[in-house]
Structure 1
Amino acid sequence: MMAAIKGGSFIIDEIDGSLVVTPEDFTEEQRMIARTTEDFVEGEVLPHDETIEKLDYGLTVRLLRKAGELGLLGADIPEAYGGLSLDKISSTLISEKLSKASSFALSLGAHVGIGTLPIVYFGTEEQKQAYLPRLATGEKIAAYCLTEPSSGSDALGAKTTARLSEDGSHYILNGTKQFITNAGFADVFIVYAKVNGTDFSTFIVDRSLEGVSVGPEEKKMGIKGSSTRPLILDDVKVPADRLLWEVGKGHLIAFNILNIGRFKLAAGCLGAAKEALELSAAYAEERTQFGKRIASFPLIGAKLADMNIRTFVLESMVYRTAGLFDEGLRELDYSRADIGMQSAKGIAEYALECSINKVFGTEALSFVADEGVQIHGGYGFIQEYRIERIYRDARINRIFEGTNEINRLLIPGTLIKRALKGELPLLAKAQALQAELLQPIPPAAYDSPLEEEAYLIRMAKKIFLMTGAQAMQKYQLKLEEQQEVLSRLADQLIGIYAMESALLRAQKKLASAGETKAGLAISMTTVFVHETFERLEGLARETFAAMETGDTIRTQLSVLKKLARRQPADTIGLKRTVAARVREAGGYIV
């Protein structure tokens, strides 16, 4: 199965913008799915928001079943098993639009994503027939059980065990899983355990089995309306045919499902960022100080502009990545015996992009929510105002689905592994760059909008290749021990993917709608590229300083200076333009 754009190739290739999906490309059917989700949230969920926050399991389950009636639980389930088999753009729109439902969105997201997808992608035909139709309607609710009291980021350090019975009819599971979303009312648990204490494997565990119990609800900082409890397994006899895929393949299921979970989390962060911006823009127009609406003050306007720009970039990244998944998973045949390996390869292709989306998305939302509280002033700290809730709820996202620190280690690590496997010609590109860097770099001239931004992104890719190649050469097999260096390499990759996603979208809009209609997208892209490029140059300097001294670092910094040459953009003026448009729209605008 070949994808049109290979995962990670953005760092070495000029990406064909016509192959990149943007929100402007949505079909009417996709927009209809989005409206259906919005109508469900507004009409069915938000009127009960206060009750949901008090942990009313019965209400949450009833609403999940209503969502099932609308098809919102079956978007990623094949039609053969009672689902809608929607494209990934549509299912991403559902994740985005559900975010306004706060805690309920988390309950639904855990069910349809990490709870159901292991069976979709890795289940046997019998398992799919037994579970998926009922998961699609909400008759059964799913939960995902990976974390343990002593193993969070170190998932493979799990202590839960599974032992095959003498007659081979069942596995006996023992252990405790921690922080399990939906544990209070889930019917089906996807549980990871080590067979014979060594082989990391996955099981479908029904709540009705003897020995399955849950601990008390955790008292959380945010997402209070979602159930979070420990799952306790005490000599639970799980039928042998409830082993998911094969013994010892649990890590492939866990990590690939987490990849999708990371991506879906970024989509949810996008929806929350839009809501926070809308609330903040409205408050800034209502609140007056010194006889003026605070939205008219330039520093408040700058905040609104920055919030809109981050949200625009995140939206561009999320739907670009959704388009990659659409293409990469399009040919999956769920009836094939090797569907598990097919799925693992298809999802792993974009593991790098999933981690990038997760880190950028969760941190963008944290930024937007924090600025939203600041715009609200003292009222932002009061529970009566929804921005306070968004701020609290957002904090968990940087911990969910692998902490951002872990993902920052995974991002360059994944890229290097792909290169060493021959899946990306990263090393050849880096070697070719060495010769190129010895040549003079003539000053660039720009005649059209976004030409300079495109040039800066090309230079950013070269800076990353230069920095990364130096790190690999210096540390070799010990590079994984240099976490500070890896983190800075990750931030370069995140920044490049983010800049390029915004650029490709703005270029597409410019080509199709003209400069006037694309003006705001051009302005936002210009601001983001220039500000991010400056930050990436600083990251490269820090990395070189950590690795080298003397003549070597002087040479490297001299080359870096050539690559980083640019004319500063008037970001202050551009942000004033963006802020004015946000005020006119009363919220997010492109």
Structure 2
Amino acid sequence: MAKSADKGIGGSFIIDDIDFLSIVTPDEWTEEQRMIAEMTSDFVEGEIVPVDEELEKLDYELTVKLMRKAGEVGLLGADVPEAYEGLGLDKVSSTLISERLSKASSFALTIGAHVGIGTLPIVYFGTTDQKTKYLPDLAAGRKIAAYCLTEPSSGSDALGAKTTAVLSEDGKHYVLNGAKQFITNAGFADIFIVYAKVNGNEFSTFIVERTMGGVSFGPEEKKMGIKGSSTRPLILEDVKVPAENLLWEVGKGHLIAFNILNIGRFKLASGCLGASKQAIELSAKYANQRTQFGKPISSFPLVGKKLAEMNIRAYVLESMVYRTAGLMDARLGQIDHDSPEAGVQSAKAIAEYAIECSINKVFGSEALDFVADEGVQIHGGYGFIQEYKIERIYRDSRINRIFEGTNEINRLLIPGTLIKRAMKGELPLLQKAKALQSELLQYVPGQTFEGVLEEEEHLVATAKKIFLMAGGAAVQKYQLKLEQEQEVLSLLADMMIQIFAMESALLRTQKRISKQGEQKAATASLMTRIFVHEAFENIEAFAKEALSAIDDGDALRTQLSVLKKLTRRTAWNTIQAKRQIAAQVIQSEKFAY
């Protein structure tokens, strides 16, 4: 396959070889972006960390006060266009803000819900009047936003919502009735993005204000983690919402909901990245301070192994997140938000990278769970004590696999969306899979590799062939019934997730080597090699399980024989490599690359 630029159709990474020069990496932040990141860190250290314990007790007044301050310094207006008193920053810059805010624990969630799923529906789908009315206050923190999709009887099945909206006879307002569940910021939010069915069947979106008659709230939920964030039910009883508060058009609510969730999934991954880095820092410092058997526990290889594996996952996730931010910038930067077609353009631009957003969400949430769990283990008994921040990171991390669509739903969406695009002729997926069949039957292993990361580049390309082999077999057997084979779809999703992850790390490291040389990229190269090889092992296992579900008898034996030829590779000493990475983390006492 020829090299191609990392832009264009979402999901195309699975069939194309990508040129590393085309991707955005964290190693190329501009001076302005670095200043934005530092400003965010300074705000967290100066304003949030000193009152962290009070915030964790769910202090509405303090939270609102700090939201106002965050608005004053520009942290709430990154995604709001300058025309509406925002900063109008690119996605890389706003991602940096999300990542750095993660150290603020529950307060980061308060901001995240406000700037992301709360404000972006108006940014991308609002009329000029709606933007003029609401965005300046939301960007400044004078008003706080919330997003209301989930209901007591509909979570993953969002379109099964029962909240209704009926247009009044004079056409001046809609009357909303229903209840929304698990609404972040509900305790103090002023503006609510509410989804309801017009006439009971046309899924639509409304901007509801707290002061409207008939708006009330249930009690605060008692949660496992993120205790400093407000989570309450929203109750709507004959709420008269002005007709001009309909967002976009009647019946277009599903496009708003699902596309805003795509953004939410991506932003969630950036928060997971920041929390992972903090967990690594806490764990490395503790490991250096804690002595057992007369020496710091950081000197024990099994503790070092944990730190190395935590660091590798963070490096890979960081590579994925900023690669995706670059992709989204390329699309969203072309939109004229004042155009009558802004809603349609926004929906298309965001939907383009729905696959990548889901991949980031799943990988990021599961990477953070791994990092947090290992962090607790390094802390030993102290990791179970609330006095130590790692305990809270562990508890807070668990919700990420449920937020913004469960990881199970996202695993179904990843290959499902890919196949739908192929069926529409947007991606030559099926053609590639068919052309590969004859190539695989004649495949002869035995390549030799000499250059830096040359073998890893080969493994990424081979992993894509393995996915096409398994995916092609699944489509050929199940056809339109494939969506019912959730286990197979999940395995295909896991393969796509691993491929995007290994390729993102590889491309980033290759780009760094080309600009800085092999020596400065030595740790990055080791992490990339380890992850690519371990991910490749995972892909082999996923493919074997999927093929065994799809075929049997001689057909299965033939497929497994081809798979065996494809997965031959040279073993190498990853134990020593992880020790080298661990040494970097232990010495720096933070995320190292």
TM-score if structure 1 supplies the norm length?
Answer: 0.99
CA contact (8 A) 1:285 1:294 kept: yes
Partner residue in 1 for 2:461? 458
CA distance in 1, matches of 2:57, 2:582: 37
Deviations 1:422-448 (A, max 9, x none): 111111111110121121324111111
Count, aligned residues: 589
Asked if structure 2 preserves the Cα contact closer than 8 Å seen for 1:526 and 1:569, the reply is no
Alignment-derived partner of residue 95 in structure 1: 98
Distance 1:311 1:440 in 2: 35
Q: Unaligned regions of 5+ residues in structure 1, if any?
A: none
Structure 2 residue 403 is the aligned partner of structure 1 residue 433? no
Deviates more, 1:159-168 or 1:435-444: 435-444
Give 1:132-531 correspondences, 5 Å limit.
Answer: 132-531=135-534
AA aligned opposite 2:351: A
Deviation string 1:38-68 (CA, Å, 9 cap, x unpaired) is 0000001111111111111111111111111
Counterpart of 2:30 in structure 1 is 27
Retained in 2: the 8 A contact 1:269–1:362? yes
Say if 2:533 is the partner of 1:559: no
Secondary structure in 1 aligned to 2:178? Answer: strand
Scaled by the length of structure 2, the TM-score of the pair is 0.99
1:6, distance to aligned residue in structure 2 (A): 2.2
SS in 2 for 1:257: helix
Q: Displacement of 1:3 after TM fit?
A: 8.7
Superposition deviation, residue 546 in structure 1: 1.1
Superposed CA deviations along residues 305-359 of structure 1, whole A, max 9, x for unmatched, are: 0000000000000000000011111111011101100000000000000000000
Instruction: Give, in angstroms, the shift of residue 4 of structure 1.
Output: 3.3
Instruction: Say which is worse superposed, 136-145 or 426-435, in terms of deviation.
Output: 426-435
Supply the distance in 2 between the matched residues of 1:310 and 1:341 (Cα, whole angstroms): 36
1:575 corresponds to which of 555, 572, 578: 578
Aligned partners of 1:259 and 1:569: how far apart in 2?
39
Q: In 2, Cα distance between the equivalents of 1:291 and 1:498?
A: 40
Amino acid at match of 2:290: R
Which portions of structure 1, spanning 4 or more consecutive aligned residues, are displaced by more than 4 angstroms?
none
Distance in 2 (CA, whole Å) between partners of 1:438 and 1:536 is: 20
Aligned to 2:81: 78
Question: What is the letter of the counterpart of residue 234 of structure 1?
Answer: E
Contact 1:3 1:327 in 2 (8 A): no
Conserved? CA contact 1:527–1:569, under 8 Å = no
**Partners of 1:572 and 1:4 in 2: CA distance:** 36
- CA displacement 1:494-537 (0-9 Å, x = unmatched): 00000000000110111111111111010000000111100110
The one-letter code sitting in structure 2 at the alignment partner of 1:389 is R
The Cα offsets for residues 134-191 of structure 1, whole Å up to 9 and x where unpaired, read as 1010111000000000000000000000001111110000000000000000000000
SS in 2 for 1:468: helix
Contact conserved, 1:71 with 1:84, CA < 8 A, in 2?
yes
Contact 2:85 2:139 survives alignment (8 Å): yes
Is 2:38 the partner of 1:10? no
SS at match of 1:517: coil
The amino acid across from 1:78 in the alignment is P
Q: Give the whole-Å Cα distance in 2 for the aligned partners of 1:51 and 1:171.
A: 40
Counterpart of 1:553, as a letter, is: L
Give the letter for the 1:8 counterpart: G
| 2-structure distance, mates of 1:391, 1:45 | 19
Identity of aligned residues (%): 73
What is the SS of the residue equivalent to 1:515? coil
Inter-partner Cα distance in structure 2 for 1:511 and 1:441: 31
1:98-156 residue CA offsets vs partner (Å, 9 max, x unmatched): 00000100000100000000000000011000000110101110000000000000000
Q: C-alpha distance in 1, partners of 2:14/2:571? A: 24
Letter in 1 for 2:274: G
Aligned partners of 2:68 and 2:142 also within 8 Å: yes
| Structure 2: unaligned runs, 5 residues or longer | none
Q: 1:158 and 1:496 mapped to 2: Cα distance?
A: 35
Match of 1:40 in 2: 43
Cα separation, 1, equivalents of 2:264 and 2:422: 25
Task: Say whether the 8 Å CA contact 2:203–2:251 is kept in structure 1.
Answer: yes
For 1:432, give the aligned amino acid: A
What is the DSSP-based 3-state SS (H/G/I as helix, E as strand, rest coil) of the residue aligned with 2:18?
Answer: coil
Contact 1:3 1:328 (C-alpha < 8 Å) held by counterparts: no
Structure 1 SS opposite 2:16: coil
Counterpart CA distance in 2 for 1:440 and 1:9 is: 24
3-state SS of 2:518 partner: helix
Question: Contact (CA 8 Å) 1:201, 1:250: kept in 2 or not?
Answer: yes
1:537 aligns with 2:540: yes
Distance 1:541 1:442 in 2: 18
State the distance in 2 between where 1:483 and 1:442 align: 33
The letter for the 2-side match of 1:471 is: A
Aligned to 2:55: 52
User: 1:77, CA displacement in angstroms?
Assistant: 0.4
Corresponding residue of 2:112:
109
* 2:6–2:19 Cα contact (<8 Å) kept: no
1:218-262 alpha-carbon deviations (Å, 9 max, x no partner): 000000000000000000000000000000000000000000000
- Kept in 2, the 8 Å contact 1:530–1:569? The answer is no
More moved, 462-471 vs 3-12 = 3-12
Task: Read off the aligned partner of 2:499 and give its amino acid letter.
Answer: I
Residues 393-420 of structure 1: per-residue CA shift (max 9 Å, x gap) = 0000000000000000000001111111
Deviation digits for residues 455-492 of structure 1, max 9, x if unmatched? 00000000000000000111111101111000000000
